[in-house]
Amino acid sequence: MKWIRFRDQAGRAVHAHVNGDLAQPVEGSPFGDWVDHGSPVALADVDWLPPVQPSKVIALWKNFHALATKQQQTIPEEPLFALRAPSSLAAHRQPVLKPLRYDGAVFYEGELALVVGKTLRAVEPAAVRAHLLGCTIANDVTAMELISRDPSFAQWSRAKSFDTFGVLGPWIDTDFDWAGASVHTRVNGRERQNYPLADMIFEPTELLSRLSFDMTLEPGDVVLCGTSVGSLPMRPGSEIEVEIDGLGVLANRYG
């Protein structure tokens, strides 16, 4: 099943499941009980919202062998991550805004994102899937030059927390199987990233398990699995598409 959120004509945020080219609104949410409510809406007419409202967004760094090899870095022994502000989230088709007081390079990062469905606290890998709602697509936009601007403190969270920098969507797919899938990022139609999810250092079930021993993951929380080679700066006006085989296409314009 595919779940989306959109803003209805009354301005309310609505959960809906996707049936072909239609979105069926529900009363309730995918995190609990729900029933169909109201008439279906054409996806072409949807005012998209991020598919989830998390209490926290965890962004992985150096989680792909190919990128670690290219940067001549060691393979981490445990997940390396930063927290992204939930207020940074943006939706499918929503513009990604240029920061007001930062003029440095802004990078796209096409990624797989995991959405927690049930509370995870100290859960072993074999039990993780029962706590996972599903997967969505992310563009983990980053103001890259900010990270090392002050040599005394790496500013990962600030670099990722500008408004609209955390792009998620278009939907959460509860049945998606990441095994065998690849991530493709296109800039103005030109492919810039093409990497297999099988190259992850910490695959999703192990990753969520390890994180759950560090902190409690609540329903709706999002974990970005990290990106691989091909991440580059975006120019204002660029059209960015992130596609994951079998999951869909996330599209936005920068600037």
Residue 26 shares a structural domain with residue 135: no
Residue 198 shares a structural domain with residue 86: yes
Residue 27 shares a structural domain with residue 132: no
**Can you give the pLDDT at residue 119?**
98
Residue 91 shares a structural domain with residue 200: yes
Residue 157 shares a structural domain with residue 209: yes
Residue 169 shares a structural domain with residue 213: yes
- For 226, what's the count of Cα atoms within 13 Å in the CB-facing half-sphere? 25
Instruction: Kindly tell me the sign of the dihedral angle through the C-alpha atoms of 49, 51, 54, 59.
Output: negative
Which residue, of 47, 62, 82, is where some domain finishes?
A: 47
Q: Which amino acid is at 233?
A: P
Residue 219 shares a structural domain with residue 248: yes
Could you tell me the residue range of the domain that residue 33 belongs to? 1-47
Residue 154 shares a structural domain with residue 29: no
Q: What pTM was estimated for this model as a whole?
A: 0.97
Residue 24 shares a structural domain with residue 91: no
Residue 33 shares a structural domain with residue 79: no
Name the average pLDDT for the chain.
Answer: 97
User: pLDDT tens for residues 133-160?
Assistant: 999 999 999 999 999 999 999 999 999 9
**Can you give the pLDDT at residue 29?**
96
Residue 15 shares a structural domain with residue 54: no
**Can you give the pLDDT at residue 130?**
97
Separation of alpha carbons 36 and 23, rounded Å: 10
Residues 6+ apart with CB under 8 A from 248: 137, 170, 171, 173
Which CATH number covers residue 43? 2.30.30
Q: How big is the chain, counted in residues?
A: 255
| Cβ proximity of 220 and 240 under 8 Å | no
Residue 171 shares a structural domain with residue 151: yes
Q: Which residues of the chain have pLDDT under 50?
A: none
Residue the block writes with tokens 């393979």: 75
Q: How many domains does the chain have?
A: 2
| Cβ proximity of 237 and 174 under 8 Å | no
Which CATH number covers residue 167? 3.90.850.10
Helix (H) or strand (E) holding 4: strand 2-7
